[in-house]
């Protein structure tokens, strides 16, 4: 079997597709729904877990060590439904007794009772979809909370005693300048959660923002302006003692790095349940497989209720494709691209194929090289995908 990082067991992802309203930029598989829809969804997710009962032991011989509740907005489920979901999953799938539970929540769902309930359910990382502390930005993004609610949710979450409180922020809104982004960053530093996920606004086809863009009413911020806002985030956060450990992820210390997301970055197996969820498993040496579920709630529900695993597609991944992914993923993380690990795991000798290219990156200040590892600098992180796309893989015919 290919070697996986020893300290990471497989991860489990549960996709909860409900939101109280749909944001105009959202490209996820989401919908609104009341209590009855929530109850049926939990029943169906547990039925899907049952379909994986046997195979999960093959996927996770050492048991799942992270469980990520994402969406959508899992906090839209009442704590009693979340408890039923977690208990039911634990009864069907092999979870470690100290499984690390992540929960995504929106600020408007946060109050003392919900926070206490989530903590008592074993949630250790609470991720808050704040997006901005600025009233005009929140209104533009179609969010349901105001800045006061955003601040209060972070403060109360910190007081509840989760191991990690993470805040999501979005930058690069049309016409956003450094002053408004700077105020968001300053507020974050002042509130002092332990983790930040910071995303650039992308306008997707088929969303309300996508339609407005087609009509010429909206445009993404120019790339160089985006780059300046990204650099500003690094500067402000570094001055406050934070560091980026991935293109979009900052933390105040390594103990708050996401144990779940790093599985995606390191080709550690994971099982995803729920509509649109993706899964990954290692197979024969140099090969792996990825599959994904039906995206629509209705199709996913019908398949599961017919006792059919609700897969919508799958792909086998050969060594060259896995090496290419390792390049893209490695250059997006501060841990960097481990050339020797890629040679060992996927049989591609990147160092020999890219000797001059990598030396030029070091010279230009995009990466630091320590032994066989290329670690992107903040400058390199900003252009990580462009660097990765230029890497020579030895004539392999893989799609980029």
Q: Which of 14, 19, 82, 218 binds ligand SF4 (CB under 6 A)?
A: 19
Nearer to ligand SF4, 130 or 367 (CB): 130
- The stretch among 20-28, 202-210, 318-326, 352-360 that binds ligand SF4 (CB under 6 A) is 20-28
d(CA 233, CA 19): 29
User: CB-based burial of residue 139 (10 Å sphere; 0-12 exposed, 13-18 middle, 19+ buried)?
Assistant: exposed
Q: Which of 10, 11, 33, 71 binds ligand SF4 (CB under 6 A)?
A: 71
d(CA 258, CA 333): 12
Site size for ligand SF4 (CB under 6 A): 11
- The stretch among 21-29, 108-116, 118-126, 201-209 that binds ligand SF4 (CB under 6 A) is 21-29
d(CA 62, CA 39): 31
- The stretch among 16-24, 193-201, 270-278, 333-341 that binds ligand SF4 (CB under 6 A) is 16-24
Which residues neighbour 275 within 8 Å (Cβ) at sequence distance 6 or greater?
15, 17, 29, 293, 294, 295, 296, 297, 299, 300, 310
Per CB under 6 A, 26 contacts ligand SF4 = yes
Nearer to ligand SF4, 23 or 126 (CB): 23
Here's the x/- map for ligand SF4, 27-66, by CB under 6 A: it reads as -x-x------------------------------------
- The stretch among 19-27, 114-122, 339-347, 350-358 that binds ligand SF4 (CB under 6 A) is 19-27
Residues 127-146 that bind ligand SF4 (CB under 6 A): 129
Nearer to ligand SF4, 127 or 354 (CB): 127
Which residues neighbour 184 within 8 Å (Cβ) at sequence distance 6 or greater?
132, 133, 134, 137, 169, 171
Instruction: Compute the radius of gyration of the chain from its Cα atoms.
Output: 21
8-state DSSP, 233: H
CB of 84 to ligand SF4, least distance (A): 22
Here's the x/- map for ligand SF4, 90-129, by CB under 6 A: it reads as ----------------x----------------------x
d(CA 229, CA 41): 40
Please give the distance of CA 209 from its chain centroid, rounded to a whole number: 22
Q: Which of 73, 132, 137, 301 binds ligand SF4 (CB under 6 A)?
A: 73
d(CA 363, CA 163): 40
Please give the distance of CA 177 from its chain centroid, rounded to a whole number: 26
Positions touching ligand SF4 (CB under 6 A) are 19, 22-23, 26, 28, 30, 71-73, 106, 129
């Amino acid at each position: 079997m290919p070697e996986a990082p020893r300290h990471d067991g497989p991860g489990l992802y549960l996709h909860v597709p409900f939101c109280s309203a749909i944001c105009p930029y959202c490209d996820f598989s989401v919908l609104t729904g009341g209590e009855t829809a929530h109850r049926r969804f939990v029943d169906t997710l547990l039925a899907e877990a049952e379909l994986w009962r046997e195979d999960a032991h093959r996927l996770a011989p050492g048991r799942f060590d992270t469980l990520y509740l994402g969406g959508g907005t899992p906090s839209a489920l009442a704590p009693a439904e979340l408890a039923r979901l977690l208990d039911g999953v634990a009864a069907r799938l092999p979870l470690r007794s100290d499984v690390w539970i992540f929960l995504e929540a929106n600020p408007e769902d946060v109050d003392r009772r919900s926070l206490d309930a989530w903590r008592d359910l074993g949630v250790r990382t609470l991720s808050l979809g704040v997006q901005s502390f600025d009233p005009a930005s929140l209104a533009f993004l179609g969010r349901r909370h105001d800045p006061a609610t955003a601040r209060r949710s972070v403060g109360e979450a910190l007081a509840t005693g989760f191991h990690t409180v993470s805040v999501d922020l979005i930058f690069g809104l049309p016409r956003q300048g450094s002053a408004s982004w700077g105020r968001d960053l300053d507020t974050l530093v002042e509130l002092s959660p332990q983790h930040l996920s910071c995303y650039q606004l992308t306008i997707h086809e088929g969303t309300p923002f996508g339609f407005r863009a087609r009509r010429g009413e909206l445009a993404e911020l120019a790339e160089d302006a985006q780059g300046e806002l990204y650099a500003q985030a690094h500067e402000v956060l570094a001055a406050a003692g934070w560091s980026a450990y991935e293109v979009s992820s900052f933390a105040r210390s390594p103990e708050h790095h996401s144990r779940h997301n790093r599985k995606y970055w390191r080709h550690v197996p994971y099982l995803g349940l729920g509509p649109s969820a993706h899964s990954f498993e290692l197979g024969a040496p140099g090969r792996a497989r990825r599959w994904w579920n039906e995206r629509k709630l209705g199709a996913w529900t019908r398949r599961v209720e017919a006792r059919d695993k609700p897969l919508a597609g799958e792909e086998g991944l050969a060594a060259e494709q896995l090496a290419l992914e390792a390049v893209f993923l490695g250059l997006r993380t501060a841990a960097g691209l481990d050339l020797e690990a890629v040679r060992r795991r996927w049989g591609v000798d990147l160092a020999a194929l890219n000797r001059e290219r990598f030396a030029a990156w070091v010279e230009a200040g995009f990466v630091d090289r320590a032994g066989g590892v290329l670690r992107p600098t903040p400058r390199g992180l900003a252009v990580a995908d462009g660097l990765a796309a230029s890497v020579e893989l030895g004539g392999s015919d893989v799609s980029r």
